[in-house]
Chains A and B, each alone.
Chain A
């Protein structure tokens, strides 16, 4: 990572993630070019590129997580999650609310320990938080007592990077998200979309290999979200980072992901995986995206029904849901 940093601040290349296999680089036609890619409905239940010889960037092995509820009973939130994410892959995780998809990101980020199983990064087990994986929260989690620039700088400051270098990189990443003019602003002065862009810049500035995004665009209006989809896709394809993106919006998942992973409702299990082999750049309104999303949505609908049923029942005996939600916030 640091070798890439040395070139800073060259105007053009964005520092690529480490161990990036050129064949996986999204700038190459297999991903982005319309010409070679297969256009059509997604196929179900089969990984996009099976049996890749390299170590997964992120490996989830038999992850289980259970809570003790207020009434004392154990509640299984995640059940035997197995997922391998290739370097540079853009994986979207969808599922009904309460399926534990946000919690899964917290586990990968190391903010919360799993009950059993292993989270591997490049084959090494995760022990606590690390700046090789940065989580972007739905509520952005930016620090209101710092300016936009200081927010972006924060991770580098914690790492002990010298001030001059920090300043340069901050300016660079703010340009990347088109917010260079707002370096001195405070967070409350920005719109929701701008805040998420600052959060993205802040995450990228620590140069993580893996970006974990927890419904980052859920609270934004449709136009802003469209713009940010484009921006995120551009940043991803230019930087070659691995992204795990959690959303409840299937169409968003298909629009962004190389692969969509569907989780079941409580306990969260991997129900199925859908490789998305549509050409990029995609658009939310593409009929192909809509068609692929429909296919996933059909499967998701069962889970949503189950979650609604559970929610209805909880009207009679409350507590269970709130406990899970609280737990997932840690």
Chain B
């Protein structure tokens, strides 16, 4: 209850400050819109379906790109964790590559795939793949060895061992990495969409700029934040809670 009150006070204050600054008209309204201006833009965007379409397109892209990242990253991470040679060679490369902003792959992607959706997907994958790979590698190492031994002992090997034992056993250790990968995928997607105009939330955002419509820009920004927050709060929090219940772990600190 107290927490809810704190939230309400904080956001009310933020809202008030925004309204105040907008009403003072220090900047022209097309540069600094009022909250209800943004509200109207949101309403209009949903009303003419352009936001729905943009959200659907963006979600579709991120789900595909992130999905590929997760599958590839798990295989790669597992490989790196279980092979000393790969660990010593590729392990360092992966860590250094992670400091590269994923949008740096954009020029390469354009040349390789052309100006189309695949280029966007490539950037999304490059953005999240490393997080997932490193998380999986780390998870595989942190995972108690006894699970792998018990699994092999009970007749699991090859893909079955991976699917039924190593993967579930390492999940609690990689869930934070998966979450990070998702955040990177989402950011990479929006960036790429802003550079290449083809539906999607990034494009709607850039359209607002082109039309000098800051209300629309902020409305889309709010949408981007909201989607990121909802996925994090529902998908990943739910996954964490589920794992905690099964494993009997105390909530992560």
Contact = CB atoms under 8 A, between A and B. Distances in A.
A145 B245 CA distance: 9
B248 A189 contact: yes
Contact of B154 (A144, A155, A188): A155
A137 B247 contact: no
A206 B154 CA distance: 7
Interface stretch (B89-97, B106-114, B162-170): B162-170
A187 B248 contact: yes
A183 interface: no
B134 to A, nearest CB: 22
Contact of B150 (A137, A186, A189, A329): A137
B147 interface: yes
A99 interface: no
A206 B149 CA distance: 16
A329 B246 CA distance: 26
Interface string B137-170: 0000000011101101111110010001100110
B61 to A, nearest CB: 31
B120 interface: no
Interface stretch (A128-136, A227-235, A271-279): A128-136
B151 to A, nearest CB: 8
Contacts of A131: 154-155
- Which among A142, A143, A188 has the highest number of chain B CB atoms within 10 Å? A143
A111 B169 contact: no
Interface residues of B, number: 22
Nearest to B150: A141
A144 B155 contact: no
Given A111-B153, A158-B160, A206-B154, A186 B147 contact: no
Interface in B162-189: 164-165, 168-169, 171
Contacts of B248: 144, 186-189
B247 A144 contact: yes
Interface string B230-253: 000000000000010111100000
Interface of B: 145-147, 149-150, 152-157, 160, 164-165, 168-169, 171, 243, 245-248
15 contacts: A109-B153, A129-B152, A130-B155, A137-B149, A139-B146, A141-B149, A144-B246, A145-B247, A154-B154, A158-B156, A158-B160, A158-B164, A188-B248, A330-B145, A330-B149
